[in-house]
Amino acid sequence: MSDEQKVKLPRVAKGPRPMMFDDEANDILLSMNVSLLNELIVTRQRLDAVERLLESKGILNQSDVNAFRPDEAATTDREALREDISNRVFYLLLQQAERAEKAIPGDAPGDNI
C-alpha cells in the first residue's frame, strides 16, 4: 500500500478542548512537559532494555532491542522506574499534597508554584 492510499486516522477529538489556566500558554507548557516526561521514560526504558540485553548477550543488536519484552522481575523494576521519574517531575505538586495531608504550614493551597 503506497503512502497515498494509507488511511489517515484523526488525532484530534471532536469537542471543546478546555484550557485550565487564565493564560493558555500554561496549558501548552503543561502538555509539553507531560509529553516530554513520557518520551523521557520511553527513552530510559529503551536504554534499560539495551543494558539488559548487553548484560545477557554481550552483543548489541537493534532487532533484539525491538523484540525485547521484560520478564516479570524486569517488569516490576521498570514499573518502579516509571513511578520514580514521574514523581520527580511532579515533585512540587506532590509536596503540596503532602503538606495538606500532614497539615504542614507553608504554601497556601495551590499558590506560589
Partner 1 sequence: MPEAQHEHGMMTNRSHDEAERQNNVRTLRQSLLSKFAAGSRQQFYREIKPAYEKKTGASLNEYRQIRKEMLKGTYMKFQMGFHRVVQELMFESLVTPVEEQLPDLIKRSKNMEQNLGTLELDPDLELPRYVTAVDIHCQPGGFTAEHCEDDIAAGAIYDRAIHIYNSGSSGMTDMAGRIVTQYLDAIFPNLKPARVLDMGCTIGQSTAAYVNRWPQADVYAIDLGPALLRYGHARAEALGHKIHFSQQSAEHTKFEDGSFDVITSNILAHETSTKAWPAIIKECHRLLSPGGIMIHADLPQLNEVDPYRQFIYTNETHYNNEPFWTKFRTLDLKKVTVDAGFLPENVIRDFSQVKGGKDQAKIDAAIETSRSAGHGAPPGSPLGMAFIIGIKE
- Applying CB under 8 A, the residues found at the interface with partner 1 are 1, 6-18, 20-21, 26-27, 30-31, 34-35, 37-38, 41-42, 45-46, 49, 65-68, 75-76, 79, 82-83, 86-87, 90, 93-94, 96-98, 100-101, 103, 108-111, 113
In whole angstroms, the minimum distance from the beta carbon of 26 to partner 1 comes to 8
Closer Cβ to partner 1, 6 or 59, answer by number: 6
Rounded to a whole number of angstroms, the minimum distance from the CB of residue 55 to partner 1 is 17
Compare residues 58 and 101 and give the one whose CB is closer to partner 1. Answer: 101
- CA 38 from centre of chain: 2
DSSP H or E stretch at residue 72: helix 72-89
Concatenating the DSSP letter of every residue in 10-46 gives P-S-SS-----SSSHHHHHHHHHHHHHHHHHHHHHHH
* CA within 13 Å, CB half, 4: 0
Cβ(53)–Cβ(64) below 8 Å = yes
What is the closest distance, in whole angstroms, from the C-beta atom of residue 86 to partner 1 in the complex?
Answer: 5
